[in-house]
Chains A and B, each alone.
Chain A
């Protein structure tokens, strides 16, 4: 019997979705169980958090600059000279709710998600994952739980830091370079930017953290076929995590309050 076009793709997609859900569920259950792999968790906090700071700093700074540039141009052209000082809250809102969580998510997917897939993939093809099991360490609790927990915690921290850098550089462009009235710019920003504008970005970032870690570990744990397989797992992690972040971001923007 002839199959409908795309049936194989749909089946494959559903199988992969099931694998991710199964891994995510097992990771959540193990997250609630003791003992914890505390040393691994601290290592991952350092890897995902501290070591990603330079990348986030640069990304957020230039994100803030370019957002500031466009807002200045927009206000100047469509509302008129002198209105640019009202761009402050719009810049901060856009950065905190959308741009910085997405940029941080994409940067971490590229830097950390790919590294998770490569490290775990190499461990899998060299039987180190099997060795973990034989030596009494559940690979999920040893490898996946610490990475997921660390990403869940560190992404919001990185995003909050990125928000601050982005807002500062947005202000530097407008006030420092273009000569916008600094008092009005800062007063408007503080007056109109609300707690939930920042918090919704942090909630998104926490979800992105889970996506990145689970996808990276999933791809690593199913890597096969030597170095080529590890390479494929790394690439897939970046692609799947990045696309998922963009899709999930839309729905969270739509349904989160504020």
Chain B
């Protein structure tokens, strides 16, 4: 169980998160939706420890991880695999080196075992025989898949997806959605998907939470969100320019 309570984060004069509360159950896929710049990615970075909150707590299985530093923090970070928005593959490394990167740090495996795990993870995301390619030789969709292979290589308990369908065509985006569902079934992980793509959110999520003005304004199953009486949610999910959301 992941629980955010009273989470606040400010950059300069801009308050991005303003007392956010949210619970994510073990084994479920939670999609967090919201406008661009609403703080969705910040939420993921706070969860994984890249950023520290100004106030509030982030509990994982009952332990507040926000104040942790050093090795204790590292042990928590080990639980997470993260797919970054533009994949964030290391430019100077091959696909195999990218996928093996976390494995080499988090697990004590022989080179042969690492190579086998890399091949296995790449096959899981539908890629074969590309171990020796460099990131710049891959298409946008392939980069996302390699990023996903890298995120699952050390078998994390929680997978974070930052805008998994952004920047790729609808067919490839749907293939990524299918992959998220497949990994969910096969690995039984808890997943947090940050997106502003309602099609993607409705397809992959058990529950959807809407982030607006630094707080969660609605949370429920895709069907409940679809029927939400909240005008902000309705404006966002139907993509209307007219409505209470004016800061676009």
Contacts and interface: CB of A to CB of B under 8 A. Distances in A.
Interface of A: 122-123, 126-128, 130-131, 133-137
A147 B150 CA distance: 26
B50 A133 contact: yes
Contacts of B82: 131, 134
A34 B232 CA distance: 51
22 contacts: A123-B90, A126-B86, A126-B91, A127-B88, A128-B88, A128-B91, A130-B45, A130-B84, A130-B88, A131-B82, A131-B84, A133-B48, A133-B77, A134-B80, A134-B81, A134-B102, A135-B101, A136-B74, A136-B78, A136-B102, A136-B106, A137-B101
A126 B92 CA distance: 13
A78 to B, nearest CB: 56
A136 B50 contact: no
B246 interface: no
B90 A131 contact: yes
Contacts of B81: 134
Contact of B86 (A122, A123, A127, A137): A127
A127 B87 CA distance: 8
Nearest to B162: A127
Interface of B: 45, 48-50, 74, 77-78, 80-82, 84-86, 88-91, 101-102, 105-106, 150-151
Contacts of A127: 84-86, 88
Contacts of A137: 101, 105
A178 to B, nearest CB: 49
Q: Identify whether the interface residues of A are mostly helix, strand, loop, or mixed.
A: helix
Contacts of A123: 90-91
A232 to B, nearest CB: 18
B152 to A, nearest CB: 12
A128 B84 CA distance: 9
B102 A135 contact: yes
B92 to A, nearest CB: 9
Nearest to A130: B50
